[in-house]
Amino acid sequence: MTEKMGVLGKKSGQRTQRSGVERVVNAPLPTVYGEFRAVGYLDHDRGDEQVALVYGEIGTQDVLTRLHSECLTGDAFGSQHCECGDQLASALRAVVAEGSGIVVYLRGHEGRGIGLLGKLRAMALQAEGLDTVEANLALGLPVDARDYGVAAEILHDLGVNSVRLMSNNPRKREALVRHGIEVAEQVPLLIPPCENNITYLRTKRERLDHHLPHLDAVAHLS
């Protein structure tokens, strides 16, 4: 009699931990922006629970897509230290206006991957005069520890081969291409700056290569 096989082909009693991203649930999600589908995933490698908000019939090519890094302070609390909350709202509105699209909400990306407490510690240093890059380094933390492999796996699972990527960050584009997702276009997602985030945004442009041409028009902000 053939012995029962466990995960990844191991015999029963010798099961190994699963790897990769597994689709767990697909649920309707009505929002103030429109009727989305929330497709939930489990990242077995990191233990993170991820979600893709899918609007309309997305197809396989040139899908309008946002990879949104988790930002509790911006997304939930309306922080003006960054533009994350406004970017998330703008991306959701954009895919509804398009008629179809995806917003992949990437948990584990808080503070460019250093976690909530790390981000708050870095923000405290920024209040003392360091920029966002200097603050991370002063804490012995990486400037950007995010990995977009999970996002690419989610897009592959959804049948997407190429995207129109809503992002100002060229590293997101490069990461998707490395993981086999074609980026047909990089769509700017520019949010008007305010006095509280202009220094942060300028640092992202000057030190992290973000494409933020609209900052040239707001030289009057401190």
Write down the catalytic residue from 75, 86, 131, 144: 144
Q: Are 210 and 168 in contact (CB under 8 A)?
A: yes
Alpha helices in 12-168 (DSSP H): 84-98, 110-113, 116-127, 132-138, 149-157
SS3 content of the chain, % helix, strand, coil (to 5): 35, 25, 40
Write down the catalytic residue from 66, 112, 121, 146: 146
Is residue 121 part of the annotated active site? The answer reads no
Nearest Cα neighbor of 51 from 102, 89, 119 is 102
d(CA 217, CA 192): 10
Is residue 144 part of the annotated active site? The answer reads yes
d(CA 105, CA 108): 10
Catalytic residues: 144, 146
